[in-house]
Amino acid sequence: MTGSVAPPVTSGAAPAFRAVVAPIAVALVAAIAVAWLIIARLTGAAESSAVTPAVAIERLPAQATDAPVLGPASTLAPADAKARNAADPFETADLAPAAAFRFRGSADDRTRATDCLALAALAEAGDDDQGQRAVMQVVLNRVRHPAFARTVCGVVFEGSARATGCQFTFTCDGSLARRYSDAAWNAARLRAREALGGRVYEPVGLATHYHTDWVYPWWSPKLVKVAQVETHLFFRWPGYWGSAAAASLAYRGGEPAIAALTAGADAAQPVVAANAEAAAAAKLVPTGSGASVVMRDPSGRANFVTVDPAKGTAAALNTARSLCNGEGTCRVYGWSDGGLVPKALPLPATARAQLQFSYARDPLGGEIVLYRCDAFRGLPREQCIPKAR
């Protein structure tokens, strides 16, 4: 930090006055600079070259719709990904724990927040106590961060209704079809109530992102690696964006219902006839793949196809890459039965339960590729669309 040289003292009262005013002025300038940075990041305003930020913020996604997807967005083999992860160092400074979550909302808000938090923990960490608490802490860290939704359910389901994809992949990859035992739900809800009541899981600090150690997403080395819990690595943003000051927004309730977030996911939807975009995209499908395009949104970012598991994983993956032949985010969802192809995103429950193939590409080319492993045989567990435990 640099500063100017103070002028000579000409009054006996001046030193005392400056001793009081100078720190206030510095604090005020810093507060204004930080406020400007937050506003600029949230509104997409360009940083002026004439302004020197008081705190450096890395040029990483600041809006939830642009933030790194949580999931295995990696094309490396698991062993290679583990080696790359091991080479990236952990933060050496003392890990600052998150502040205790302060719940302010109605009884309905608490019930909905508890269920969403428990669902995320179950889907992401199974029945592991430490893993569930780590996931819950990440969700609550996001709720209080300006880059994400302001409710627990909003964070968990962020992106699930858009063709650009989900922040938590379990809300888009068919995992919502899982069913958990009453005992598993009760245990997860207890942990969720504790987290909402102020219990802090300190080992992950202010982490807002994580991934398993057998994948290596493009964004992994750009974030600060703070902790490992079981096979999951946890990260925070660098600079101010990853500080306690940035993640300090007050929670005010207003939790949406899960049914509203999944947009009638349990309701049957009719098969949509091949639209003009699908007809055009059909020419992109590799010959002999056994695939066909049923629906494609006008942007090309969302594609519903039929696939033939008998043709193998390469045929499905080549189809997806052929459809996602441009730049930016792209999603391909595949079923073996055309009668299960839904009308639009988000995927209804019946379609999620029968999803055979899921492909997602992030804006920088990282891929998530998952298959239904009772149809596509011989795949490692991490390549399988999760099923009920």
Q: Are residues 283 and 255 in the same domain?
A: no
Host domain of residue 368: 276-383
Each residue of 164-182: pLDDT tens digit?
344 555 555 444 545 678 8
In the predicted structure, residue 22 carries a pLDDT above the cut 90: no
Mean pLDDT of 21-50: 36
The band of 134, judged by pLDDT with boundaries at 50, 70 and 90, is very high
Helix (H) or strand (E) holding 125: helix 107-125
The answer to the question of residue 193 being in a domain is yes
Q: Are residues 103 and 230 in the same domain?
A: yes
Q: What is the model's pLDDT at position 15?
A: 37
Each residue of 231-240: pLDDT tens digit?
889 999 888 8
Tokens 């006055």 sit on residue: 17
Helix (H) or strand (E) holding 330: strand 330-335
The answer to the question of residue 293 being in a domain is yes
Q: Are residues 256 and 281 in the same domain?
A: no
Q: Are residues 256 and 283 in the same domain?
A: no
Number of domains forming the structure of the chain: 3
Using CA atoms, how far apart are residues 74 and 228, in angstroms rounded to an integer? Answer: 19
Q: Report the b/e string of 174-197 with b at 16+ CB within 10 A.
A: bbbbbebeeeeeebbbebbbebbe
Q: Are residues 38 and 159 in the same domain?
A: no
Q: What is the model's pLDDT at position 5?
A: 28
Using CA atoms, how far apart are residues 349 and 267, in angstroms rounded to an integer? Answer: 8
Q: Are residues 196 and 120 in the same domain?
A: yes
